[in-house]
Each structure stands twice: as structure tokens, then as C-alpha cells.
Amino acid sequence: MYIGIDHGTTAIRFATGEKHFKISRTDAVSFEYRDLGCLCDIDKIEGIAVCYSMGDSISDITGIDKVENRGVVTRDGAGEHIGGGTKVYDEVKRSGIPAIVIPGIHRTSPTDPRFKVYSHQTSPEKLGIAYEVSKKLGDDIIVCDASSNTVTLLISGGKITGAFDACIFAPGNVHGAIDVDGIRKIDEGVWSANEAFMHAGVRENVPSEMQNKTVAMFAAMECASMRLLNKNAKIAVAGSLAPAISDEISSLLGTKVYVYDEWCAAKGLSSIAEDVFEKGKRNILGLKVSV
């Protein structure tokens, strides 16, 4: 049995190909690896794919014993820091079960060099989404994950071309790009840059009746911009907002949009673990596997 672990913004999700469960990041501080027993017998787990934060200090899919500092440059920066993700990662490592750490996409990743104007393109769990979607839709896809934040990836020929992270373009419910008002509050010492990022989503800045429409519009813009690089790419939307915004995105783009649920990332990560540990794959979405 193979397990994927999605370190999301509000929860950590665990999945095999058949079962799944989630816990809040706050509750995850008491997680123990034997809690995985609700998915299957611990002795039957043959491999795990785990994510941690931005995954910005590694570029390969890497065996957990080879990874330093949990695969991040620093825990400081964009996002909320609670400790649940740290506990889950450390428990996976402590378990002794074969495990791989999925990298984020950043300047040392094998993407189109034009995307590297930005230091960070996407966090690791979005690769789980892309892998799961590619199994269904093929090697040319645009995947937009919309929830607390909005992140869009382009996969061409089965390899990741690039991505827009939440702090660059489309807002989500909580996070978004820092605009002029945010910059002023940073300069005035009212907010840190991270606080500005966490106040830039639609919940705080758009009337409730316009929030989903706003996310849908900007998500569609991200998808449309990715299509400049691959006009034949199919479009998929995942995340907690996907059911609410997919029709609007489809209308704006004039094309079919495929919808995936909140378990897509964890399931895709489970498939990555299976393909690495059982099938011996050494390349996933254009990323080298080093176990």
C-alpha cells in the first residue's frame, strides 16, 4: 500500500488509492505515524510521498533520509506556521517506512527559464494534483488549484513547464498578491509582508456575493495565460473552491473544464509513491527521482 500526504493550507490530507482522511494543521501537532493505521495495516505500507511547506531547498524527488531541514530553505516567509506539518513530516521519517519528499518548483527546478524571474512557482502538493490529473487527461494539462490560495501549473509533454504561485497572480479566499495598499501598510509598520499576503484574499477585500466570481475571473486569466505556451492543454480545476467556480471559468475560457476534489493532491502523491517504489520510475513530471 502507498500513501500520499498533502500538506495543505488549512489541513493535512492522507490518502491511498482507496481511502483517505484529514486532520487540521492544529490537530496534527499530536499526530503519530501509527495513526496511518486507519488507512491500512502499518506493516502493509510500502512507501509514502510527503510534502512539507514550500519544498524550496530541493529540486529532485528525494529519499527522506537524504533531505536536510525538511527540504526548505527556512520556515519563515509566506503562510501561517503552526507546527502540525512539522510533526507529520518528522513522524514519517521516524517510522522507518520508505518515504520520498516532493520538492516545490523554484529557480533551480527544470522549468521554462522565463518563469524563474520569480523565486518560487509552486509548493510540492500541487505536483500531486498535476500527477493525478495527468493520469486522466494526458500529458498536456493546465491545473488550477483554488482554495485558500490559487496556484496554476502547466504540464507540457508530461513535464512541468512552470507555475504561478499565490503571491504572484490570482487571489484565493485568504492569500493573494500584495497590492499598493498592502505595500503602504508594510512601509508604515502596520503589517509584516507575510501579514499583507495573508490579508490579500477575496474574503477581506471583496463583497461576499462577488468572492467566487472574483477568484474565477483571475483563475481563468491564469489558465488563459498558460495556454499561450500550450494551446492544446486541457484545463482542470481542483481545491475546495473548484465546484463553485468551474462553470464560471469554463464560460470565461469557452472550453470544458474538468473538476477534481480536495483529495486530488493526496491521491496523486500516493500514485507518485507507488510509481517510484514499486515501478522504479526515476522521472516524475520531468523531475529527477533520487532515493
> For each of the chain's 291 residues, which pLDDT tens digit applies?
999 999 887 899 999 988 999 999 899 999 999 999 999 999 999 999 999 999 999 999 999 999 999 999 976 655 566 678 899 999 999 999 999 999 999 999 999 999 999 999 999 999 999 999 999 999 999 999 999 999 999 999 999 999 999 999 999 999 999 999 999 999 999 999 999 999 999 999 999 999 999 999 999 999 999 999 999 999 999 999 999 999 999 999 999 999 999 899 999 999 999 999 999 999 999 999 999
What topology does CATH give the domain 2-170+209-290? Nucleotidyltransferase; domain 5 (3.30.420)
Q: Residue 75: what pLDDT?
A: 63
Q: Residue 83: what pLDDT?
A: 79
Q: Residue 285: what pLDDT?
A: 98
Closest listed residue to residue 13, CA positions, set 242, 262, 285: 262
Show me where the domains of the chain are located: 2-170+209-290
Q: Residue 9: what pLDDT?
A: 78
Q: Residue 8: what pLDDT?
A: 82
Strand partners, 231: none
Whole-number Å distance between alpha carbons of 3 and 147? 23
Whole-number Å distance between alpha carbons of 253 and 262? 23
Q: Residue 76: what pLDDT?
A: 61
Whole-number Å distance between alpha carbons of 237 and 129? 10
Closest listed residue to residue 139, CA positions, set 160, 122, 164: 160
Burial 103-122 (b: 16+ CB within 10 A, else e): bbbbeebebeeebbebebbb
Burial 13-45 (b: 16+ CB within 10 A, else e): bbbbeeebebbebeebeebebebbeebbeeeeb
Question: Which residues, in sequence order, are CB contacts of 191 under 8 Å at separation 6+?
Answer: 182, 185, 199
What cell does 204 get? 477581506
With 0.85 as the threshold, say if the pTM is over it: yes
Q: Residue 84: what pLDDT?
A: 87
Q: Residue 270: what pLDDT?
A: 98
Whole-number Å distance between alpha carbons of 165 and 169? 7
